[in-house]
Amino acid sequence: MASKSSVATNVSDQSYGSQPSIEDQMAIVVKRVGEVKRLVHKSPLYWECIELLARDEVSRGIFYALPDGSKLHYLKRKITASNEEEDEPFF
């Protein structure tokens, strides 16, 4: 039988040790936004979506929970950016 202190240590290790790094969390955001059907990847909407979901945990949670067919509609309601491809600046 585990002692009380080892159980407490195991619980605290699990809560901290299992948290993905910020880089891993943002990689998931970028991947999930990239999977949205009909979202143009070189559009202002695409970039604004990544920024919104990176900084707002509630919006990110809602976005992840929505069915795939509703994700673009949700993002368009939250962000008023264009979903048209923009040219990259040429210098």
Write out pLDDT tens, residues 50-85: 999 999 999 999 999 999 999 999 999 999 999 999
Question: For residues 11 and 50, what is the distance between their CA atoms, to the nearest angstrom?
Answer: 32
Band (46; pLDDT cuts 50, 70, 90): very high
The pTM is what? 0.74
Would the pLDDT of 40 be above 50? Answer: yes
Burial class (CB in 10 A: 0-12, 13-18, 19+), 71: buried
